[in-house]
């Protein structure tokens, strides 16, 4: 993510580092989407609070994002954390629906949950024109959550759900970008993530072994790195 922003905005118009934005930069969003979907499904005890934290990061970062991309503060072009927060909102509802369903009444036969998901999808569609990656980016979070759920060995094996979510991941991965190299980078990152999904117990143990970062650090990293790029860009041009 930082590599993407540096390559594109440190010296706008300089294509010398386009390869960096088109490779590492394009792999960042699916990795963040997968991380959030994973934590929402397996680790978060309070999905609403988790979603609000991402929304808080989005709000803190928005002034610096507007300065970085060179648009007026009044122009509604929202940073990627708004995309992730919208995706988490749909994913939160999807998680609740999945765990509320049963073998006797699967999700696709539960009218109440289907209507709720349609309403959430409509809300996402309304905000999609204003967020980074649009509707494709919003949907990637709940679709990855669906794949992780279908891959979970503790759940009833549902090959149809697994195949459907896998195909949707590929379709969304293609739709995130409009050219060859960025699309290839995104698909490679998604492919790696999906291959790792059957190692859920090992990933869970690894994540729990990692030291807990101070809240101020992970809350402040995204807006902080945007501010740093704005300052560096101003210094380079002046």
For each of the chain's 238 residues, which pLDDT tens digit applies? 666 676 666 666 666 666 566 667 678 899 999 999 999 998 888 888 999 999 999 999 999 999 888 877 667 889 999 999 999 999 998 888 888 765 555 666 667 667 777 888 888 889 999 999 999 999 999 999 999 988 887 777 678 888 899 999 999 988 888 777 778 888 888 888 888 776 655 565 555 555 666 666 667 888 988 888 888 877 777 6
Lookup: tokens for 29:
């969003």
Going from the C-alpha of 9 to that of each of 82, 107, 114, 185, the distances in angstroms are: 20, 44, 42, 20
Question: CA nearest 219: which of 73, 49, 101?
Answer: 49
Radius of gyration of the chain (CA): 18
pLDDT at 215: 67
Locate 144 and state its tokens.
């990855």
**What pLDDT sits at residue 36?**
94
| pLDDT at residue 191, as a whole number | 87
The single residue listed with the structure tokens 């195949």 is 163
Cβ-in-10-Å burial (0-12, 13-18, 19+) of 36 comes to buried
171: tokens are 């379709």
Q: How far from each other are the two terminal CA atoms of the chain, in whole angstroms?
A: 25
pLDDT of residue 51: 93
Per-residue model confidence (pLDDT) at position 109 = 62
Q: Domain locations in the chain? A: 2-237
Give tens-digit pLDDT for 87-142.
Answer: 999 999 888 888 876 555 566 666 766 777 788 888 888 999 999 999 999 999 99
Phi, psi (rounded to 5 degrees) for 168: -65, -40
CB 140 within 8 A of CB 87: yes
pLDDT of residue 52: 93
Cα–Cα distance, 9 to 200 (Å, whole number)? 37
Q: How far apart are alpha carbons 238 and 226 in whole angstroms?
A: 18
Judge contact between 15 and 178, C-beta under 8 A.
no
SS3 label, residue 78: strand
- Cβ distance 132 to 80 under 8 Å? yes
């Amino acid at each position: 993510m930082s590599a993407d922003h540096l390559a594109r905005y440190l010296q706008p118009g300089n294509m010398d580092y386009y390869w960096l934005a088109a490779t590492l930069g394009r792999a960042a969003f699916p990795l963040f989407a997968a991380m959030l979907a994973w934590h929402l499904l397996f680790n978060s005890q309070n999905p609403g609070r988790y979603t609000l934290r991402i929304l808080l990061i989005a709000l803190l970062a928005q002034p610096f994002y507007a300065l970085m991309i060179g648009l007026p503060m009044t122009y509604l072009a929202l940073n990627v954390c708004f995309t992730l927060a919208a995706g988490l909102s749909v994913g939160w509802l999807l998680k609740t629906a999945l765990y509320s369903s049963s073998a006797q009444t699967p999700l696709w036969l539960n009218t109440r949950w289907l209507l709720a998901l349609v309403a959430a999808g409509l809300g996402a569609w309304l905000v999609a024109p204003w967020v980074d990656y649009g509707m494709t980016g919003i949907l990637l979070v709940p679709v990855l959550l669906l794949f992780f759920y279908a891959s979970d060995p503790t759940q009833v094996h549902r090959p149809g759900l697994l195949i459907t979510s896998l195909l949707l991941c590929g379709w969304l991965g293609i739709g995130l970008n409009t050219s060859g190299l960025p699309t290839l980078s995104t698909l490679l990152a998604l492919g790696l993530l999906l291959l790792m999904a059957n190692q859920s117990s090992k990933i869970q143990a690894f994540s729990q072994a990692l030291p807990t970062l101070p809240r101020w650090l992970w809350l402040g990293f995204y807006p902080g790195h945007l501010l740093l790029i704005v300052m560096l860009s101003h210094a380079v041009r002046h």
